Amino acid sequence: MKVVNPYLNFNGNTEEVFNFYKSVFGGEFAMLMRFKDMPADAAQTEGEGCADGEGGIPAGEENGIMHIALPVGNSVIMGTDVPTNMAQVVNGTSMSLSISAESREEADRVFNGLAEGGKVQMPMQDMFWGDYYGMLTDKFGIQWMMSYSTQW
């Protein structure tokens, strides 16, 4: 397996979320596609996942993000605005994004950036297993684990 990349679903605020992540991690979007730019013949039918049976995006959601990708290190964080006729997004606690920093300074910089407007569950600190580690939930409800290890 080459790499596993996280794919995040949002209720219409993907662009805001990814601009925030871009401000923290730096870099440029590798891809940004809006629903309005999708070719008409690419729309899905009801059997393929589109609940309205017409294969279209609900009115008012055309400018939403169909797909966005932000390279971060050797990974890519990807996301979408889930159309309201396809599914309901529920922020949960069943997953976290884990970042392995290359230095304590990088760990602090990224952690503090993500924590802005969010909630820190565990501040960055030296842990008994040898890592410099912290946990937070960002202002969009996404949970993050930050670590720096000299062991790997």
Domains annotated on the chain, with CATH: 7-81 (3.30.720.100), 97-148 (3.30.720.110)
Question: pLDDT value at position 39?
Answer: 78
Please tell me whether residue 29 adopts helix, strand or coil conformation: coil
pLDDT, tens only, 98-114 = 899 999 999 999 999 99
Q: Do β-strands 31-34 and 132-137 pair in parallel, antiparallel, or remain unpaired?
A: unpaired
Q: Which residues pair with 108 in a beta bridge?
A: none
**Nearest-CA neighbor of 75 among 100, 49, 38, 108?**
100
**Nearest-CA neighbor of 10 among 99, 105, 91?**
91
Enter the tokens of residue 86: 């396809």
Rounded to two decimals, the pTM is 0.76
pLDDT, tens only, 25-79 = 999 999 999 999 887 766 544 444 444 445 578 899 999 999 999 999 999 999 9
pLDDT, tens only, 79-89 = 999 888 877 78
Question: pLDDT value at position 40?
Answer: 76
What is the rounded average pLDDT of the residues 135-148? 94
Residues 6+ apart with CB under 8 A from 1: none
Residue 139 has pLDDT above 90, yes or no: yes
Residues 6+ apart with CB under 8 A from 79: 7, 8, 9, 10, 14, 17, 18, 65, 67, 68
Q: Which residues pair with 7 in a beta bridge?
A: 78
CA distance 86 to 49: 7
